[in-house]
Amino acid sequence: MQDWKARISIDPKVCHGRPCIKGTRVWVSLIVDNLAEGSTEEEIIQAYPALTKNDIRAALAFAAEMARERFVDLPLKA
């Protein structure tokens, strides 16, 4: 997914700066945890209706980037 950076937000005023899907308070880690436990995209969207399939894919792309042990430059809101 090439546009995942446009879907992830890190803001110290929202969820204590944890990476979230933009416009929501849904943590990227929550999405990845649910997928790891076997939840389907449809089940996650049913539980969090503000999400789209592309949001879930963005969360996975973000997690993959973090697993590469590289620095990911996302703007931090002040």
User: What is the residue-level pLDDT of the chain in tens, covering all 78 positions?
Assistant: 678 889 999 999 999 999 999 999 999 999 999 999 999 999 999 999 999 999 999 999 999 988 887 666 777 776
Domain assignment present for 78: no
Q: What is the CATH number of the domain that holds 11?
A: 1.10.10.10
Query: pTM for the complete prediction?
Result: 0.83
Residue 50 resides in a domain: yes
pLDDT at 61: 94
In a domain, 73, yes or no: no
**What's the Rg (C-alpha) of the chain?**
12
Residue 9 has φ and ψ, to the nearest 5°, of: -130, 140
Local structure of 22: helix, strand or coil: coil
Within-domain flag for 77: no
Q: Do 21 and 9 contact (CB within 8 A), yes or no? A: yes
Domain count along the chain: 1
What's the domain range around 56? 4-67
